[in-house]
Structure 1
């Protein structure tokens, strides 16, 4: 059934019908079956190949919905982990910024237009924060067995600072995008009034 509706069959059928028209006008003569089949074959060969449908990837808003669900799972994990006060404060700042970026509304709409920003946010939520916290918990246990090493809290605090800076750069880029949009609209209105 798929071939019946294909462009090759439709083009071949149209050419085959032209062959039948030639037969009825007397041009094809006794060789009309060869002419009709040949024209059908020629039409099927010159028809464009069937193009496969592109994959149906989720749109950015659906990606953000999945990311919001993953962020809630991350928050549940972080609530169960015991962290030192300085790292806990930095983590609270970071999760607050991530929550603001993922909050449904106009920020999410702007973020959805920036695939690199969505990727950065997804990497932070799904990989970087859980890895930093889990590595700290594991290293803290080992540091109790071998005192005198650099405390794992310093590494965790530095990692959280770096992640906060990255999320801050993303928020700044989104703000700049909106500022450029506003400036562009102002110029448009100025140009329109002249």
Structure 2
């Protein structure tokens, strides 16, 4: 713009193309460079939606597996807790704000539960061929119990975070009153 003003006012004289080109070049050097767009990683809500879909697929797999009653009861407790954590709503939003929690639920749904159940099914077959070894049912029950404890700790941590949030808001309102 300054080059056009200099040209039309006659101050650039016969050198007006050089003045305009020079000012344009100076502007191009001063201007910030174009920055590349950041990568489009999935948002926490999108990640939870993917985990929900995988959890549904896991439920179909678990429905086809024949488990002993004690292990089936432990598995039901675990899947109910995971379903409550993944249910859309404020709980899932609280979980989405905790990347470690999202990772723990993802690992439980995508890796730990399928591995525990698959190992049980495979080991149960081998145990029939070699009786007298430790029962695979006991291992499965212990594994599911440990996974339930881990999910319970996550739920407790989310509850504690919400409780701290509530207490913080109470303190804020009390401080504002003074």
TM-score for both structures, normalised by structure 1: 0.83
The CA deviation at 1:142 is 2.1
> How many Å separate the matches in 2 of 1:187 and 1:37?
62
The CA deviation at 1:148 is 3.2
- Please name the residue that 1:53 is paired with: 37
**Unpaired segments ≥5 residues, structure 1:** 1-16
> How many Å separate the matches in 1 of 2:89 and 2:12?
69
- Please name the residue that 2:65 is paired with: 81
Aligned pairs (5 A) from 1:7-46:
17-46=1-30
Aligned pairs (5 A) from 1:87-166:
87-166=71-150
Equivalent position SS for 2:133? coil
**Unpaired segments ≥5 residues, structure 2:** none
**Residues 17-62 of structure 1 deviation map (CA, whole Å, 9 limit, x = unaligned):** 3223223333333222222112211211221011222233333223
**Residues 89-122 of structure 1 deviation map (CA, whole Å, 9 limit, x = unaligned):** 2111111111111222321222122222112111
TM-score for both structures, normalised by structure 2: 0.90
The CA deviation at 1:129 is 0.5
- Please name the residue that 1:12 is paired with: none
The CA deviation at 1:144 is 2.2
The CA deviation at 1:125 is 0.8
Where has structure 1 moved over 3 Å in runs of 4 or more? none
Q: Which has the higher contact order (CA 8 A, sep 6+)?
A: 2
